[in-house]
A and B are shown apart, each in its own frame.
Chain A
Amino acid sequence: MAQVKQDAARNRGILLRDSGPAQAAAGASDRAAGTRARRRRGREGGGFWWIVPTLYIVFLMLPIYWLINMSFKTTNEILGGFSLWPQNFTIESYVEIFTNPVWYNGYVSSITYVLINTVISVTVALPAAYAFSRYRFLGDKHLFFWLLTNRMAPPAIFALPFYQLYSAIGLFDTPWAVALAHCLFNIPLAVWILEGFMSGVPKEIDETAYIDGYSWPRFFVKIFMPLIASGIGVTAFFCFMFSWVELLLAKTLTAVDAKPIAAVMTRTASTSGYELGLLAAAGVLTIVPGAVVIWFVRNYIAKGFALGRV
């Protein structure tokens, strides 16, 4: 009996010791509450808690503001002086971009190859990621890692081989050339992100579907894809962004017909000097598609950066 009591006492001792981290955690939350309280006091007392975030946001937004600011100025005003906001507000630059086919075709071809690339990357990566997530095969782990190493090489080193290969088969200067070239780094990325999301789905769901009589393609489309819909969204977003911001391959593999917007921008350097207002407006319009896509997947991006392994 006495032994039992001793044991119980010892156990309590252990429990008390074990509660150390819990107390520490409680302490941390107390401190957090304290910080909040101080912040409230600070607000009342006119403290300076807001300085750092404000500075951060100012520095972050300043270049973007300046770009927008410039896009509404005339080139003469940009070159002539330094003003915080347009003195002679003009939308001339935007009108030029939206009415001149050379300009807006730049956007059209950029968006075309980006979309083609996104569709190809996701479509190809889905079954590949499924295989990596569900099956064990010879060298699977090495192959999976090797995929990622494809991203370690700068895309520029592939520009020359792509240029010659695509010229040889008549793909040069088409959106397909750029879209396929971007697959080089987008498919590995897509496989990695999707694999993470797929591994989060229990294998038993696959088996239950097979037992229910689903064939693999039907199971994949009807049951599996809805389960990783957010993963597919995030993957598509990353493919879109990487393809959208990649300029070197896009410029090298196109000449006239499929010229991306980045290449069109070089047109602003003419014999009469730089048309800076036009360049700024084109820059603003280049940010827009990315911002729109980010808006749609904003809730899942963090998960995507963790490759689905949250």
Chain B
Amino acid sequence: MLELRNVSKVVSGETHIADVSLRLEPGTLNVLLGPTLAGKTSLMRLMAGLDRPTSGSVHMDGEDVTGVPVQKRSVAMVYQQFINYPAMSVYENIASPLRVAGVDQATIERKVRQAAALLHLEPHLERTPLELSGGQQQRTALARAMVKDARLVLLDEPLANLDYKLREELRAELPRIFAESGAIFVYATTEPSEALLLGGNTATLSEGRVTQFGPTVEVFRDPVDLLTARTFSDPPLNTIVVQKQGKHFMLKGSDGLPVPAQLAALADGRYTLGFRPHHLSLEPATDHAVPIEARVTVTEITGSESFVHLDYAGNAWVMLEEGVHRIGVDETLRVFIDTRHLLVFDETGRSVAAGHAQAA
């Protein structure tokens, strides 16, 4: 078990990681989700022991490893860039951690062959990494991380620089490849959809803080605050500030939304409502859908889906609709908000109620 206790990292006056506490169990897949510069890589470097935290401590299986150099820890790491040893053959690249550890030749041979077979690298073992394609280079790096049998495996956006098809393929394989090892598996990504596809646990990061950590689906459905909800939403979360008065959320320039049944107990006051793009629709999905009129700013069509960007009283929203819809710019459109899925945040950004009472 890897445990971070109140870990902070300050580099020349700039806070990269602020008071992070995490417990990662062996045999689990943990996703670090956050935009660029959120601190994913910084946090991984602290976990690995490449950097020393400014304050706080790192514990591995109950033992304090805060100042222990990375060589003495059982860690494997794969970077976003394809990092291999260009002067060595692919075989030697994969064998390298075993050679350093002084493993006997027969074991090295067996493990390298096994890893190469799993990652489809067998035909390339005698070549050097720079002669390979990007995907093969990254698979070499993954194979090297795999043969080490480390207790902590860190993957820092390993698929970000790969093309679409290869990414899909490796993403499906990765959890399977590392699952058997029983290692703690940490995976950093900027894409919410990738976190959902990988499953496991997710820690959402924002400006060096872990805003929420828990099972991925739970974090997605029930974000504890607005920041988490925004981090874990792509396209961006739609929000609007409202005033709750009795049975209505009063909106600027409209009659207001009726408060759905599951939020009836909410006290009157100012709130921020959040709802995801697919909870906006052209047709009422259920009888909980409430119509609202908004101006269209842009329509993006991506094959089977359309993203309609709307402007509602100065709030920029996105609606995700199935199928191709040609909607003129500046047209006023009647759209429906599914009020069952409303996320409600108070003025400090804390979640007061999540509208997932029924399955999302």
Measured between beta carbons, the chain B residues less than 8 angstroms from A213 are 71, 97, 100-101
Flag whether B77 is at the interface (Cβ < 8 A): yes
CB pair A210–B83 under 8 Å, yes or no, is no
Chain A 204-247 per-residue mask, 1 if CB under 8 angstroms from chain B, else 0: 11011111111100100001001101000000000000000000
Q: How far is the CA of A218 from the CA of B100 in the complex (A)?
A: 9
Flag whether A3 is at the interface (Cβ < 8 A): yes
Measured between beta carbons, the chain B residues less than 8 angstroms from A223 are 85, 87-88
CB within 8 Å for A211 and B48 given contacts A1-B329, A4-B329, A204-B79: yes
CB pair B86–A227 under 8 Å, yes or no, is yes
Question: Which residues of B, 42-92, contact A by the 8 Å Cβ criterion?
Answer: 48, 50, 69-71, 75-77, 79, 81, 83-88
CB pair A1–B77 under 8 Å, yes or no, is no
The chain A residue sitting closest to B85, CB to CB, is A223
CB pair B329–A3 under 8 Å, yes or no, is yes
Flag whether A20 is at the interface (Cβ < 8 A): no
**Which residue of B71, B75, B84, B88 contacts A214 across the interface (Cβ within 8 Å)?**
B71
**Which residue of B81, B87, B144, B326 contacts A212 across the interface (Cβ within 8 Å)?**
B144
CB pair A226–B329 under 8 Å, yes or no, is no
**Which residue of B69, B79, B87, B328 contacts A208 across the interface (Cβ within 8 Å)?**
B79
Q: How far is the CA of A208 from the CA of B76 in the complex (A)?
A: 8
CB B33 to nearest CB in A, in angstroms, measures: 22
CB pair A212–B148 under 8 Å, yes or no, is yes
CB A65 to nearest CB in B, in angstroms, measures: 43
CB within 8 Å for A205 and B85 given contacts A212-B96, A212-B148, A214-B100: yes
Flag whether B330 is at the interface (Cβ < 8 A): yes
CB pair A205–B83 under 8 Å, yes or no, is yes
CB within 8 Å for A211 and B85 given contacts A3-B329, A3-B330, A4-B329: no
Chain B 318-360 per-residue mask, 1 if CB under 8 angstroms from chain A, else 0: 0000000010111000000000000000000000000000000
**Which residue of A1, A202, A209, A211 contacts B328 across the interface (Cβ within 8 Å)?**
A1
Q: How far is the CA of A204 from the CA of B158 in the complex (A)?
A: 13
Measured between beta carbons, the chain A residues less than 8 angstroms from B328 are 1
CB within 8 Å for A227 and B87 given contacts A210-B70, A212-B97: yes
**Which residue of A3, A210, A227 contacts B71 across the interface (Cβ within 8 Å)?**
A210
Measured between beta carbons, the chain A residues less than 8 angstroms from B84 are 208
CB A217 to nearest CB in B, in angstroms, measures: 12
The chain B residue sitting closest to A223, CB to CB, is B85
Measured between beta carbons, the chain B residues less than 8 angstroms from A212 are 96-97, 100, 144, 148
Measured between beta carbons, the chain A residues less than 8 angstroms from B79 are 204, 208
Measured between beta carbons, the chain A residues less than 8 angstroms from B83 are 202, 204-205, 208
CB pair B50–A207 under 8 Å, yes or no, is yes
Measured between beta carbons, the chain A residues less than 8 angstroms from B77 are 207-208, 211
Total A-B Cβ pairs within 8 A: 57
CB pair B81–A202 under 8 Å, yes or no, is yes
Q: How far is the CA of A226 from the CA of B83 in the complex (A)?
A: 15
The chain A residue sitting closest to B77, CB to CB, is A211
Interface size bucket, B side? Answer: 20 to 34
Q: How far is the CA of A210 from the CA of B148 in the complex (A)?
A: 13
CB A221 to nearest CB in B, in angstroms, measures: 12
Measured between beta carbons, the chain B residues less than 8 angstroms from A229 are 87
Q: How far is the CA of A4 from the CA of B100 in the complex (A)?
A: 61
Q: How far is the CA of A1 from the CA of B330 in the complex (A)?
A: 9
CB B47 to nearest CB in A, in angstroms, measures: 11
CB pair B50–A210 under 8 Å, yes or no, is yes
Give the one of B50, B101, B141 with max A CB within 10 A.
Answer: B50
Measured between beta carbons, the chain A residues less than 8 angstroms from B71 are 210-211, 213-215
Measured between beta carbons, the chain A residues less than 8 angstroms from B148 are 212
Measured between beta carbons, the chain B residues less than 8 angstroms from A209 are 85, 96
The chain B residue sitting closest to A207, CB to CB, is B50
CB pair A211–B81 under 8 Å, yes or no, is no
Measured between beta carbons, the chain B residues less than 8 angstroms from A210 are 50, 69-71
Give the one of B71, B86, B329 with max A CB within 10 A.
Answer: B71
Measured between beta carbons, the chain B residues less than 8 angstroms from A218 are 100
Measured between beta carbons, the chain B residues less than 8 angstroms from A3 are 329-330
Measured between beta carbons, the chain B residues less than 8 angstroms from A207 are 50, 70, 77
Measured between beta carbons, the chain A residues less than 8 angstroms from B101 are 213
CB A211 to nearest CB in B, in angstroms, measures: 5
CB A48 to nearest CB in B, in angstroms, measures: 46
Measured between beta carbons, the chain A residues less than 8 angstroms from B144 are 208, 212
Q: How far is the CA of A229 from the CA of B88 in the complex (A)?
A: 13
Q: How far is the CA of A227 from the CA of B84 in the complex (A)?
A: 11
CB A139 to nearest CB in B, in angstroms, measures: 15
CB B276 to nearest CB in A, in angstroms, measures: 26
CB B331 to nearest CB in A, in angstroms, measures: 9
Give the one of A3, A207, A212, A227 with max B CB within 10 A.
Answer: A212
Q: How far is the CA of A211 from the CA of B79 in the complex (A)?
A: 12
CB A212 to nearest CB in B, in angstroms, measures: 4
Measured between beta carbons, the chain A residues less than 8 angstroms from B75 are 211
Q: How far is the CA of A226 from the CA of B86 in the complex (A)?
A: 9
**Which residue of A4, A202, A204, A211 contacts B76 across the interface (Cβ within 8 Å)?**
A211
Q: How far is the CA of A218 from the CA of B102 in the complex (A)?
A: 14
Q: How far is the CA of A63 from the CA of B76 in the complex (A)?
A: 62
CB A123 to nearest CB in B, in angstroms, measures: 20
Question: Which residues of B, 128-155, contact A by the 8 Å Cβ criterion?
Answer: 141, 144, 148
Q: What are the nearest 3 A-B pairs in CB distance?
A: A226-B87, A212-B97, A213-B100
27 residue pairs of the A-B complex, CB under 8 angstroms, read A1-B326, A3-B330, A4-B329, A202-B81, A202-B83, A204-B79, A204-B81, A207-B70, A207-B77, A208-B79, A208-B83, A208-B144, A210-B71, A211-B48, A211-B50, A211-B77, A212-B97, A212-B148, A213-B97, A213-B101, A214-B71, A214-B100, A223-B85, A223-B87, A223-B88, A227-B86, A227-B87
- List 15 other contacts, CB 8 Å, given A210-B70, A211-B77: A3-B330, A202-B81, A204-B79, A204-B83, A205-B85, A208-B85, A210-B69, A211-B71, A212-B144, A212-B148, A213-B97, A214-B71, A223-B85, A223-B88, A226-B87
